[in-house]
Protein backbone atom coordinates (compact mmCIF):
# COMPACT_ATOMS: atom_id res chain seq x y z
CA UNK A 1 0.00 0.00 0.00
CA UNK A 2 1.30 3.42 -0.93
CA UNK A 3 2.23 5.81 1.81
CA UNK A 4 -1.20 6.99 2.62
CA UNK A 5 -0.04 10.24 4.16
CA UNK A 6 1.49 12.06 1.20
CA UNK A 7 -0.23 14.43 -1.21
CA UNK A 8 2.01 15.33 -4.12
CA UNK A 9 1.24 17.01 -7.45
CA UNK A 10 0.75 13.70 -9.25
CA UNK A 11 -1.76 12.52 -6.65
CA UNK A 12 -3.59 15.85 -6.83
CA UNK A 13 -3.84 15.62 -10.60
CA UNK A 14 -5.17 12.08 -10.36
CA UNK A 15 -7.81 13.09 -7.81
CA UNK A 16 -8.84 16.12 -9.88
CA UNK A 17 -9.36 13.96 -12.94
CA UNK A 18 -11.57 11.60 -10.95
CA UNK A 19 -13.48 14.51 -9.40
CA UNK A 20 -13.75 16.55 -12.61
CA UNK A 21 -11.95 19.65 -11.38
CA UNK A 22 -9.51 21.79 -13.36
CA UNK A 23 -6.94 23.51 -11.18
CA UNK A 24 -4.49 26.23 -12.16
CA UNK A 25 -0.79 25.76 -11.40
CA UNK A 26 -1.16 28.25 -8.57
CA UNK A 27 -4.03 26.26 -7.10
CA UNK A 28 -2.10 22.99 -7.39
CA UNK A 29 0.84 24.49 -5.50
CA UNK A 30 -1.30 26.11 -2.83
CA UNK A 31 -3.59 23.12 -2.28
CA UNK A 32 -0.68 20.76 -2.03
CA UNK A 33 0.62 22.58 1.03
CA UNK A 34 -2.81 23.23 2.57
CA UNK A 35 -4.05 19.70 2.08
CA UNK A 36 -0.84 18.13 3.31
CA UNK A 37 -1.27 20.05 6.58
CA UNK A 38 -4.81 18.76 6.86
CA UNK A 39 -3.78 15.16 6.15
CA UNK A 40 -1.09 15.40 8.83
CA UNK A 41 -3.80 16.25 11.36
CA UNK A 42 -5.99 13.44 10.03
CA UNK A 43 -3.13 11.07 10.70
CA UNK A 44 -3.74 11.65 14.42
CA UNK A 45 -6.37 8.98 14.08
CA UNK A 46 -3.55 6.45 13.86
CA UNK A 47 -2.97 6.96 17.58
CA UNK A 48 -6.37 5.56 18.45
CA UNK A 49 -6.83 1.86 18.75
CA UNK A 50 -10.18 0.95 17.23
CA UNK A 51 -11.78 -2.43 17.62
CA UNK A 52 -15.20 -0.92 17.27
CA UNK A 53 -17.44 -1.49 14.28
CA UNK A 54 -17.88 1.48 11.95
CA UNK A 55 -21.00 3.51 12.75
CA UNK A 56 -23.23 4.38 9.80
CA UNK A 57 -25.46 6.84 11.63
CA UNK A 58 -25.42 8.35 15.12
CA UNK A 59 -28.51 6.31 16.01
CA UNK A 60 -29.30 2.84 14.74
CA UNK A 61 -31.43 3.02 11.63
CA UNK A 62 -32.68 -0.15 10.02
CA UNK A 63 -35.32 -1.58 7.75
CA UNK A 64 -37.02 1.58 6.50
CA UNK A 65 -38.50 0.03 3.38
CA UNK A 66 -41.14 1.36 1.01
CA UNK A 67 -44.07 -0.63 -0.39
CA UNK A 68 -43.95 -1.29 -4.11
CA UNK A 69 -46.67 1.10 -5.26
CA UNK A 70 -46.75 3.73 -7.98
CA UNK A 71 -47.32 7.34 -6.97
CA UNK A 72 -47.19 9.57 -10.03
CA UNK A 73 -45.36 12.84 -9.57
CA UNK A 74 -47.00 15.87 -11.17
CA UNK A 75 -44.24 18.21 -12.25
CA UNK A 76 -42.16 19.42 -15.14
CA UNK A 77 -38.75 17.74 -15.00
CA UNK A 78 -37.38 20.32 -17.44
CA UNK A 79 -38.31 23.18 -15.09
CA UNK A 80 -34.72 24.22 -14.35
CA UNK A 81 -33.01 23.02 -17.51
CA UNK A 82 -31.52 25.37 -20.08
CA UNK A 83 -30.66 22.67 -22.64
CA UNK A 84 -33.30 20.32 -23.86
CA UNK A 85 -34.76 19.03 -27.13
CA UNK A 86 -38.44 18.24 -27.09
CA UNK A 87 -38.94 16.39 -23.83
CA UNK A 88 -35.35 15.09 -23.72
CA UNK A 89 -32.48 16.60 -21.77
CA UNK A 90 -29.46 17.45 -23.84
CA UNK A 91 -26.19 15.86 -22.88
CA UNK A 92 -22.63 16.59 -23.93
CA UNK A 93 -21.05 13.93 -26.15
CA UNK A 94 -19.39 10.88 -24.70
CA UNK A 95 -16.10 11.12 -26.54
Of 37-66, binders to another protein (CB under 8 A) are 37-39, 41-48, 50, 52-59, 61-66
Three-class SS state of 85: strand
Radius of gyration of the chain (CA): 22
Residues 6+ apart with CB under 8 A from 5: 39, 40, 43
Which of 10, 22, 25, 26: binder of another protein (CB under 8 A)? 22
User: Does residue 1 bind another protein (CB under 8 A)?
Assistant: yes
Q: Which residue, 25 or 82, has its beta carbon nearer to another protein? A: 82
Q: What is the C-alpha to C-alpha distance for residues 40 and 6, in angstroms, rounded to an integer?
A: 9
From the CB of 3, what's the least distance to another protein, in Å? 10
Q: What is the C-alpha to C-alpha distance for residues 26 and 32, in angstroms, rounded to an integer?
A: 10
User: Does residue 87 bind another protein (CB under 8 A)?
Assistant: yes
Q: Which residue, 27 or 29, has its beta carbon nearer to another protein? A: 27
Cβ-contact 35, 6 below 8 angstroms: no
Number of residues that bind another protein (CB under 8 A): 71
User: Does residue 88 bind another protein (CB under 8 A)?
Assistant: yes
Amino acid sequence: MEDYGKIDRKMLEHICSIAKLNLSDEEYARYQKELQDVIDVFRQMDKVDTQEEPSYHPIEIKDRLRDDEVIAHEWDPLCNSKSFEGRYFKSPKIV
